[in-house]
Structure 1
C-alpha cells in the first residue's frame, strides 16, 4: 500500500516539474518531451526526476538513473544531463558527489575519458520537497497574470492535461507526449473542464475550499433549464438516508415546485461505487418521501428507456430527480440532444470520470462524500 502511495506521489512530483520546465521557457513554442526516452527532455537537456520521500540518499540509490543518463550522453553529447532528486535525508552527501562514487562497481564499464566528459555535462540537483515545489509551480502560473485562486485551478488542469498525454499515448505513440508553453496558455484560456483538487485545499485551507466551491457554483438564485448532471463518488460509509438527503438538497436548488407551476429542470445523478441493493433501497426511500423520480425503467423487467429518463419535468409530472444506474446509461444521457445547455459536476475522491464530449465540467475533489453537503 505504502509503495503505491509513494509511486503516485512521485509521479505527481514529476508532473509538477514538467509544468515548471514548460512555463519557464522563454520560447512559447519550444517542445518539452514527457516520458519519452527519459522523464523530461528538450533540445537542450535531458532530465531524470526521482522523488524518494521515505529513503535516505546514498550514491548507490541513484546509480541506475545515472547509468541511463550516461548511456544517453554517449548517443548525444550536445545536451545537458540532469538528475533532479529529493530524498528524506541527503545523509551528508552534496551535489558534488563524484561519478565514480555513484557508479560503484560499474565505474569500470566506462573509460576515464567518458566519465570526465560526462561530468562536464552532468548536474546532480537536490530538489525541494513536494509541497515547496507545488508552491513554486503555482507561482509560475501566477506569472502569466493569473491570481492565486485561478493559478491553483489551472495547476490542476495542467496536471490532468500532462497526465493524459502520458496515459493516452501508448509506447508506439510516444512521440505525442509533447507539450509547449503555448499549449498550456491556450489550455488556460479555453478551459471548460475546471478541476478543484487538494492543492487548492492545501493553499487556501479547508474552510476556504468549501466556501469557494459554494460561492462559485452553488449559490446562484437563477433557476433555468440548463441540464445539470451530478456524478458523485461514494466512499461506502454513507447511509441511505444521507444519500436521499443529498439528492433532495441538490434537487431543490435546480427544480422548484411552486403552487401552480415549476421552475427549472430535474437534475441527473450518477453514483459511483453504489451496489445494486443500496440503489434499490435509496429509490424505495424516495418513493416513501413522495419524491417523484425517473430512472429510465418504467415497468418490471423493462429495458432502459432513454426517452423516459430524458423527458422534461412539467407541472403535471413534477419529476424532481433523475437517477442514472450505470456508466453506459450515463454516456447515453450525456450524448442526448436536450436542445439546451448541459453542465457536469463531479465530486471525486481519486480521479474524475473522463468525459469525452466538449461539455462544461466542474470536477471537485473530496476526501469523503460527507463533504458534499458542506459545499452544496
Structure 2
C-alpha cells in the first residue's frame, strides 16, 4: 500500500525546491541572490530589498485562515526583531497552493482582520494576542502589512514545473530542447538546491543567479536522488533510450561503449550487456552491404584475469570479436582491432583492453565517432577532441544499461 502522507510530503519538498529554482531563473540581475532556508524557506536578495518567502503546498487541503496564521506570526517575529535595526528592509511573502477555499480570503487584508484572524489564537483554552506579546502598536502592524504579501492562488506543482522548463529552455547559455531542459538542467538544478538546503551556515545556503546558471550548465546525465524521486527510474531510463538509442543500426558510425563495473558485478550481467550491445549496434547481415559496422567495448574496473575469463566465455559461446592482439605475446595492433566487421568474418564487437587505447583509436579513425560512457560516480574517460560526441550516463547497476540501450 502506498504511503500517501509520505508522497505528499515529498511533493511539498519538490514544490519548495522548484520555487527556489523558479525565483533564481526570474531574477533580472545575474548578481542578485537567493538563500535557501534563510529567514523563510526562500530569501530573495536584490541588493536594495530582501524578500522572505514562506512556501506551502496544500494540494488536498481547503484554505482556512488558521493554516496561514502561524507562518504569518513567525514572519511578524522577524519583523519585530529588525523593526528598529539598521538592516535593509524585508518584504514578507506567503506563497501557498490550496485545493479550494480561496474565496474565504479578501485581499488586501485589513488591520482588524490581521489582528483578529491571524494574530489571535487559542492554546490550552487560553487566548493569546501575538501582537500584544510582541508589544507592537497598530502603527507597527500597518507597517508590517505594507511589507506583507499573501498569495493563496500559487501555481500547482505541475504548472510551476512547466514554467521552470520553459525558462530553462529559453536560457541563452543553454539552447536546450525539451529533453535537455528536463534531464540535464532541471536535474542539475534540483541537485544544487537540495545540496544548499542541508548546508549548516546560512552563507553556504546562498547562491547568485550567475553562479547557479554556471553550475547547472552541464550536459551529463546524473542519477541524483531527488531527480530519480521526481521522475521515477523506469521513466528516466526510457527517456534516455528514446533520446539516444532508439534509432540503432541505421548509421555506420564508430561507436564506443565504455562500461564501468563495481566489485559486486556478476559475469552473467556483464556478458548479457555486451551481448545486447553487440546485437543492437552491429550490422553484418548482408554480404552486399558496403557499410557494415560493429561497436567497440571497454570495461573499466575489470581485473586482467577477469577480462581473459570474459573473453574466453564469450568466444566459447560463438561470439566473434577483435581485441588488437593477434597472437600470444604480440603488441597491440591498431590495424588489427580496426578490421572492418563483415558478413564473412562475422565480427560483432571489439574489446578494448586498456583505457589508453581509446585515444589511439580516436586519433586513427576518420569516420564519425560516438562514445557512450556508463559510470557509477564520475566519468573515468575524458578527451580534448572536439570531433567526438560523448554521452555520459550515470548508472546504479549494470542492468540499467540494458534498460537504456
Q: TM-score, normalised by structure 2?
A: 0.59
**Of the candidates 168, 185, 192, which is equivalent to residue 213 of structure 2?**
185
Report the alpha carbon displacement of residue 41 of structure 1 after superposing the two structures with TM: 0.7
Report the alpha carbon displacement of residue 129 of structure 1 after superposing the two structures with TM: 0.8
Larger CA deviation: 174-183 vs 107-116: 107-116
Does 2:120 correspond to 1:94? no
Larger Rg: 2
Structure 1 residues 207 and 87, CA gap change in structure 2 (3 angstroms): same
Report the alpha carbon displacement of residue 81 of structure 1 after superposing the two structures with TM: 0.4
Structure 1 residues 95 and 18, CA gap change in structure 2 (3 angstroms): farther
Structure 1 residues 16 and 223, CA gap change in structure 2 (3 angstroms): same
Counterparts of 1:372 and 1:50 in 2: how far apart (Å)? 38
Q: TM-score, normalised by structure 1?
A: 0.63
TM-superposition CA deviations, 1:287-312 (whole Å, max 9, x none) = 995789xxxxxxxxxxxxxxxxxxxx
Report the alpha carbon displacement of residue 253 of structure 1 after superposing the two structures with TM: 6.0
Q: Is the CA contact (8 Å cut-off) linking 2:165 and 2:181 kept in structure 1?
A: yes
Report the alpha carbon displacement of residue 7 of structure 1 after superposing the two structures with TM: 2.0
Two-structure CA RMSD over aligned residues (Å): 5.0
**Gaps in structure 2 of 5+ consecutive residues:** 84-88, 122-127, 285-293, 303-312, 321-335, 338-347, 363-370, 383-389
Partner of 2:20: 18
Counterparts of 2:277 and 2:28 in 1: how far apart (Å)? 46
Counterparts of 2:381 and 2:37 in 1: how far apart (Å)? 27
Superposition pairs of residues 57-136 of structure 1, within 5 angstroms:
57-76=63-82, 78-90=89-101, 92-94=103-105, 96=107, 98-100=113-115, 101-105=117-121, 106-108=128-130, 109-110=133-134, 111-113=136-138, 114-126=140-152, 127-136=154-163
Counterparts of 1:249 and 1:290 in 2: how far apart (Å)? 14
Counterparts of 2:270 and 2:63 in 1: how far apart (Å)? 48
Structure 1 residues 51 and 99, CA gap change in structure 2 (3 angstroms): same
Report the alpha carbon displacement of residue 165 of structure 1 after superposing the two structures with TM: 2.5
Report the alpha carbon displacement of residue 192 of structure 1 after superposing the two structures with TM: 4.5
Report the alpha carbon displacement of residue 369 of structure 1 after superposing the two structures with TM: 10
Does 2:377 correspond to 1:345? no
Partner of 1:40: 42
Partner of 1:308: none
Counterparts of 2:261 and 2:106 in 1: how far apart (Å)? 48
Q: How many residues align?
A: 310
**Of the candidates 3, 6, 21, which is equivalent to residue 4 of structure 1?**
6
Superposition pairs of residues 360-371 of structure 1, within 5 angstroms:
362-363=392-393
Larger CA deviation: 24-33 vs 112-121: 112-121
Counterparts of 1:71 and 1:287 in 2: how far apart (Å)? 74
Structure 1 residues 266 and 56, CA gap change in structure 2 (3 angstroms): same
Structure 1 residues 56 and 357, CA gap change in structure 2 (3 angstroms): farther
